Amino acid sequence: MVKYIFVTGGVLSSVGKGILTSSIGKMLQARGLKPTVVKIDPYVNIDAGTMNPYMHGEVFVTDDGGETDLDLGWYERFLDLSLKQENNLTTGTIYRSVIEKERHGDFLGRCVQIVPHVTNEIKNRIKNAGKAVNADIVLTEVGGTVGDIEGLPFLEAIRQMRVEEGYENTLYVHVALVPVLDVTGEMKTKPLQHSVNELRRIGIQPDTIVARSPQMIDAEALRKIALFGTIPESSVFCSYNAETVYQVPLILDKQGMGDFICQRLSLKCDVKDFVAWQTFVDGMIHPEHEVRIALVGKYAGLSDSYVSMTEALRHGGAACKTKVCIAYLEAEKFEREPECLKDLANFDGVFVPYGFGPRGTEGKIAAAKYARENDIPFLGICYGFQLAVIEFARNVCGLTDANSTEINPDTPYPVIDLMPEQRGIETKGATMRLGVHKVVLQKGSLAHKLFGEDICERHRHRFEVNLDYIDALKNKGLCFTGKSSDGRRMETLELPDKYFYFASQFHGEFKSRPGRPSPEYFGFIQACVNKKLGLPKV
Ligand code: GLN
């Protein structure tokens, strides 16, 4: 019998539901159980792909090319899973399939309604996610905040699942903010109480409540949460601020949450193994070195825009006992004030992330140039890769005003151009080159040294290196060392005479895991440390 755990959030969004859901999964996994995860995003978009990162943070890309909510990234990192597009439900996906069924005639003669047709679609998709991978437990995180209009059909669906799947097979976890007042230092549980009331109004009584607070809740807060949440004190847990989010499963397990869930759902588990996880966490919180990385981006104002990249840099750091301090720098600043470029000398590495459109590109190109000329370790990902090509074409090959046609359609030297199969595509949703594609690596190259054998990495792009310029770039020393299977797509570049200058068209960060960092990120951080320590290049 499959068990279902539902996570709801109260008081405000970004309360840490994604980390909590991932942590619950980790506690179950440590006990030898097999969880899978579904994220519900009540917005109307079919997927996150068409949204600006400033709306909901980065777009996470799955192996199968799904452009999903960033929480799927947390589930994958915590649970080392490879999830699918189907693991992310939005109002758009649900309604689209209900409407398609209606047009097909599946509901002939009936009036199609939110209850039962939309709620049935939601329940089926949650159940199918479990069946697809033969999971013991399906964790479902309901995005947004309890009380949002958009969330109601989803909450109704999970309410019904209690009745249909049985009390012993379903568990409701509610997490809400417990703020501490600056002035008095008092912990305030009233907002949490109200959010529990709101949940009850919908017909859901939580089985366990997690207080999200800056520090461990005190006895009085615990008493109130239990009393007004109508649950025993032993079912209240606290997710307080930690040095790294990877500590959260350990923190909650220590409070007994893992055992509580297993008992409540009659899950058989005799083992509990956090050894590998603890080792990784220890590496993170007891570093021996420290490096400072300049991330030169377009969405620098919201670090969630670069969350997978940030985590991949940290995974790389943990693997060489290095604390990675990231400065999120607005690329446009280097355009307005070029004299600021020399500040990059204070960093151990320069990182140019993904991006779209012209804004900030000249600043990123200038940063890539500064890193190359001053031999600061450099890593470029996707747009970062393309902009490094443009920089090299302009400043080394002498192709003045070389550019990407994404930035300047009239450039005299379109060194980056639209992929042929992208020509004529007018619609924007899910039309990029997405998901995993094979990359063949040149023996003896840095890419080969880092990654080993040929690889499958995730992609999300419309533009690529224009084959007409390969010879010109190669002749001046730019090496394309990773290519698509047919050899027609440039996937990695490197400058062998530099300490570390590497970039990839693919996104290694999406497959980076705690304890198993993406090789390009690991190689970059290790190079930053080694160079800082004055060690010769490896
Ligand atoms: N804008 C570039 C493209 O579409 C790069 C995309 C990215 O960085 N993900 O090819």
pLDDT digits (tens, 9 = 90+) for 251-273: 999 999 999 999 999 998 889 99
Classify domain 287-532 by CATH architecture.
3-Layer(aba) Sandwich (3.40)
Report domain extents, the chain. Answer: 3-278, 287-532
Ligand 1 probe mutation, 58, 359, 437, 460, most atoms within 8 A of CB: 460
Query: In the predicted model, what is the mean pLDDT of residues 455-479?
Result: 98
Place of tokens 């479990």: 130
Looking at 14-82, which runs of residues are DSSP E strands?
35-41, 60-61, 67-68
Q: Which of 420, 435, 445 is nearest to 495 (CA)?
A: 445
Query: What is the pLDDT confidence band of residue 466, given thresholds at 50, 70 and 90?
Result: very high
In percent, the amount of the chain with pLDDT more than 90 equals 95
Q: Which of 523, 513, 458 is nearest to 491 (CA)?
A: 458
Ligand 1 probe mutation, 390, 407, 463, 506, most atoms within 8 A of CB: 463
Position in ligand 1 atom list of the atom nearest CA 507 = 9
Query: What is the pLDDT confidence band of residue 12, given thresholds at 50, 70 and 90?
Result: confident
3 state DSSP class of 400: coil
Fold identical between 3-278 and 287-532?
yes
Cα of 387 vs centre of ligand 1, distance in Å, is 10
| Cα–Cα dist 210/440, whole Å | 47
| pLDDT of residue 104 exceeding 90 | yes
Query: What is the pLDDT confidence band of residue 231, given thresholds at 50, 70 and 90?
Result: very high
Asked if 184 and 207 count as a contact pair (C-beta separation under 8 A), the reply is no
pLDDT tens, 402-429? 999 999 999 999 999 999 999 999 999 9
Cα of 345 vs centre of ligand 1, distance in Å, is 27
Q: What is the pLDDT of residue 269?
A: 85
Cα of 384 vs centre of ligand 1, distance in Å, is 9
Whole-model pTM: value is 0.96
Catalytic residue ranges = 382, 507, 509
Ligand 1, pocket residues at CB < 6 Å: 354-356, 382-383, 386, 406, 460-463
Q: What is the pLDDT of residue 15?
A: 84
Cα of 394 vs centre of ligand 1, distance in Å, is 20
pLDDT tens, 508-530? 999 999 999 999 999 999 999 99
Between the alpha carbon of residue 14 and those of residues 17, 143, 241, the distances in Å are 7, 9, 14
Position in ligand 1 atom list of the atom nearest CA 381 = 8
Position in ligand 1 atom list of the atom nearest CA 463 = 10
Query: In the predicted model, what is the mean pLDDT of residues 485-513?
Result: 98
Query: What is the pLDDT confidence band of residue 11, given thresholds at 50, 70 and 90?
Result: confident
Q: Which of 64, 112, 120, 122 is nearest to 90 (CA)?
A: 122
Alpha-carbon torsion angle 316, 320, 323, 324, nearest 10: -30
- Please provide the average confidence, as pLDDT, over all residues in the chain: 96
Give bridge partners of residue 295 from the DSSP assignment: 328, 351
Query: In the predicted model, what is the mean pLDDT of residues 95-114?
Result: 96
- Specify the length of the chain in residues: 538
Asked if 387 and 361 count as a contact pair (C-beta separation under 8 A), the reply is yes
Q: Which two tokens stand for residue 391?
A: 């920089």
* Closest residue to atom 1 of ligand 1, CA basis: 356
Neighbours of 50 (CB within 10 A): 15
- Residue ranges of alpha helices (H) inside 211-343 are 219-229, 248-254, 257-264, 275-285, 307-319, 331-336
Position in ligand 1 atom list of the atom nearest CA 432 = 4
Q: What is the pLDDT of residue 476?
A: 98
pLDDT tens, 362-378? 999 999 999 999 999 99
Taking the domain 3-278, which CATH number applies? 3.40.50.300
Cα of 464 vs centre of ligand 1, distance in Å, is 8
| pLDDT of residue 56 exceeding 90 | no
Cα of 421 vs centre of ligand 1, distance in Å, is 15
Query: In the predicted model, what is the mean pLDDT of residues 191-219?
Result: 96
- What is the edge-to-edge ordering of all strands in the sheet holding 455-461? 322-330, 289-297, 349-352, 378-381, 501-504, 490-494, 479-483, 433-441, 455-461
Give bridge partners of residue 218 from the DSSP assignment: none
3 state DSSP class of 132: helix
Least confidently predicted of 267-271, 281-285, 441-445: 267-271
Ligand 1 probe mutation, 52, 381, 386, 418, most atoms within 8 A of CB: 386
